[in-house]
Amino acid sequence: MRTPHLIETHPHQEWFIGEQTEYNGEDDLVDELLSKGDDEDDDPWTPPNHRRGSRRKPRGRLAALSFGAKAVVGILVLAAFLTLADRWALLYAERRAADTLKDRLHLAAAPEVEIDGFPFLTQLADERLDSVKVTVPDVAADRVSLAQVTATATDVRLDTDGPASVRGADVPHLEGDVLLSFADLNRELGASQVTFTGEGHDRVRARGTLPVAGHDLRLRAEARIVRNGERGIATHIGGMRLDIGDLATYRPGARTAQGLHLSRTSVARLAHETRKAKALLSIPSVVRRLGVPDSLVQEALRNESKLTDLIGTPRFLRQAMRLNLIDLALEHPKLLALLGFDPALLDALPRLTRPVLTDQLSLGFRLPEPPSGQVRLRDVRVEKDGIRVRLEGAGLAVGR
């Protein structure tokens, strides 16, 4: 029961409390405090968030970003697989084309084939290739193998039964070049001791040694390179000579300056080798060819001082160098032996005619005729490493 009452706390101070709750001792007070605590525990406890400015991102935006990233990754993976498939198809087609060219052209080795353009599968589906480059390392042509033939065909039309079956191809236009290297010429011509070098835009110089009857003769020759028809080149050999040490020089041919002649060094030595000089002047036919008066010859044969004066004159040197020793070898073989010539060499030299030597040094060749269409050579030029000729073709068919 609640009753108003007056509490006297101090003699000079009074508080009116109003209605005062009566407690039955200390137990009622404890129960009321516990009941208030139970009311406050109804809400669940959560840990405090101490992060400054922390905000939760909207879940919709995260989902959109995740889906976009997955889509981009998927597209990249698909593009990678498509590119890989295209490159594998390209490599397979290049290998098949190389094998076909090897069989159709009867080549010793398969050529290198490069198909340009991307993607390849769309070109194959369209039955048309933008550009195809073919490199053949060795093509048999007459006596030599061409070091390299490179050609690029454009707008190639395919004959197919579908992407997986290609029967052949039509090549409307083709351009390239042929390289005949000097290194291959040395090997192919069997003259490994002869080296060819370019000299000017259309000339080749040959230098080296040529074995003849057990002697290594020094070879010198010049060749002019010209186009021969539409599929070949020819060589015109000039300035050909074979030096037999410092004894003599052999130039093939029937002209006065050609044949076998003593060298200037060999003729000059006659002034100190009186025995050889007297043997030469003792033959009337030689004296006539030298154009020396008989009176001077007789004085020279009797007096060595006169002999030295005669064979030391510039006129005698010139006349002695003009003697064709091939003719003398037939008439006076002992005289040539006395001058230092090997009889076996003298017997072999006349067989080294100009056509024989020209054939050994010839750099000419002809391209094989294609099964269809035409191929022709243009713009022959000599370079440092060999002879290069521009190549053109039209109306070619491959694989049929």
Q: What does 64-79 look like in DSSP terms, one character per residue?
A: HHHHHHHHHHHHHHHH
pLDDT at 231: 84
More confident residue, 271 or 294: 294
As a whole number of Å, the end-to-end CA separation of the chain is 125
Which of 66-80, 143-157, 222-236, 246-260 comes out lowest in average pLDDT?
Answer: 66-80
The total number of residues written for the chain in this structure: 400
Residue 375 and residue 231 in contact, taking contact as beta carbons nearer than 8 Å: yes
Structure-block tokens of residue 319: 């006349």
Q: How many CB atoms lie within 10 A of CB 283?
A: 15
Residue 170 and residue 373 in contact, taking contact as beta carbons nearer than 8 Å: no
Percentage of the chain exceeding pLDDT 90: 12
In this prediction, residues 276-285 reach a mean pLDDT of 89
In this prediction, residues 223-239 reach a mean pLDDT of 88
Residue 101 and residue 135 in contact, taking contact as beta carbons nearer than 8 Å: no
Say how far residue 382 (Cα) sits from the centre of its chain.
16
Backbone angles phi, psi at 85, to 5 degrees: -65, -40
- pLDDT tier for residue 263 given thresholds of 50, 70 and 90: very high
265-274, pLDDT tens digit by residue?
Answer: 999 888 788 8
Distance of alpha carbon 173 from alpha carbon 376, whole angstroms: 12
3-state SS class at 142: coil
127-165, pLDDT tens digit by residue?
Answer: 888 888 888 887 766 666 677 889 898 888 887 765 556
Q: What is the pTM of this model?
A: 0.65
pLDDT at 10: 46
| Burial class (CB within 10 angstroms; exposed 0-12, middle 13-18, buried 19+) of 397 | middle
Structure-block tokens of residue 305: 């001082």
pLDDT at 11: 46
- pLDDT tier for residue 219 given thresholds of 50, 70 and 90: very high
Distance of alpha carbon 282 from alpha carbon 273, whole angstroms: 15
